[in-house]
Structure 1
Amino acid sequence: MSSSITPLLLVDGYNIIGSWSPLKSTRDRHGLEQARYELVETLINYTVHKGYKTQVVFDSQYQKTPSSVEHHSTHLSICFTAWTQTADTYIERVCATFFRRQQINHNRIIVATSDRDQYLTAMGYGAEWMSVEVLAKDIESSRSQVRHKQRSNKRSRGRLLFNCLDAQSQEKLARWL
């Protein structure tokens, strides 16, 4: 899949943290920073598996800081909004830009949130919506698929040392025999 047509997944970060029991529990026990970290770690593998470009958006509206973007991988970045901006307004702006086709880097935008107003706005701009529950189930399904594929790869190699070699080494060994 070409990077110019990669779907963009916009994640309303604090909304997800406040909606997922494990992340809510982490937030309450260990603080917001740890909950953000766990959310990002959860999304990294999911993003690669699904072929998404993901941007996790966090509010910074009550801190007098400019907006910033941190790139955690080629597929996932984190945006902290500017002092006067909410995650909702940031996501709405991205959806509006997509709707006007001013940004053609993505053929789809998916907004992950449980915020009803955000859902209606995103859909109004032609973006797709993914509920918090659906995102959680999809992440678990992706994890399961990856584990199944890893088990299948281990089984298919068999017990012979020959099967553990890369193709080039197997070819050299076969010529010797």
Structure 2
Amino acid sequence: MDVLLVDGYNMIGDWQELKKIKDIDLEQARNLLIEKMAEYQAYRGYRVIIVFDAYEVSGGETKHTNYKVEVIYTKEQETADECIERLVKELKNVKTKVYVATSDYTEQRTIFAQGAYRKSARELYLEIENIQQEIEDDLKSYKARQISTKIPIKQDVLEIFEQWRRGQK
């Protein structure tokens, strides 16, 4: 299974929608990021882990899961970058590709050296936008295939009725 590690505050600081919300309510910006990554996780099937810096907050590392997305707040005196680097070492193996979403150039170089792949904040944002469009297209296609009658009729009977309507039988 592929894994996507996300530097949470890096995405919030880069994505315009989240940046605006952050200035008003940081927790709401975090929650919206988690929701967007949950859609990503459901559509792509990746294991998604979002890491938030708790560098200046006292206490140990906290982990919880929202919508099948793992959320980690780093322990005291640990940056999100350090946590991500540790996770790359733990998770990367022959069967698992690890992607790291960050626009921090230094962090990108470090994770490259460890064999992980990178996605910039902009790349991840565009990928999420494309996923949302694909979902909308899939829904339109699904709705178009749905039977429009209120009476449940089998498809073969509907085809016969359509032929009669067209005067073909």
Taking structure 2 as the reference length, the TM-score comes to 0.86
Q: What percent identity do the matched residue pairs reach? A: 30
1:162 Cα deviation (Å)? Answer: 5.3
**Match among 3, 22, 26 for residue 27 of structure 1:** 22
Counterpart amino acid of residue 90 in structure 1: C
User: Following the alignment from structure 2 to structure 1, what is the Cα–Cα distance between the partners of residues 81 and 47?
Assistant: 19
Tell me the TM-score normalised to structure 1 length: 0.82
Who is 1:67 aligned against?
Answer: 61
1:98 to partner: Cα distance: 3.8
Q: Does residue 79 of the first structure (1) align with residue 72 of the second (2)?
A: yes
Name the CA distance, whole Å, in 2 between partners of 1:143 and 1:87: 27
| Moved beyond 6 Å, runs of 4+ | none
Structure 2's unaligned 5+ residue stretches are: 156-169
Q: How many residues align?
A: 157
Structure 1: unaligned runs, 5 residues or longer: 1-5, 172-177
Pairing of 1:1-177 with structure 2 (within 5 A): 6-29=1-24, 31-74=25-68, 76-99=69-92, 101=93, 107-161=96-150
One-letter amino acid matched to 1:72: N
Deviations 1:150-174 (A, max 9, x none): 11111101312356x8xxxx69xxx
AA at the equivalent of 1:53:
R
Secondary structure at the counterpart of residue 138 of structure 1: helix
Q: CA RMSD in A?
A: 2.1
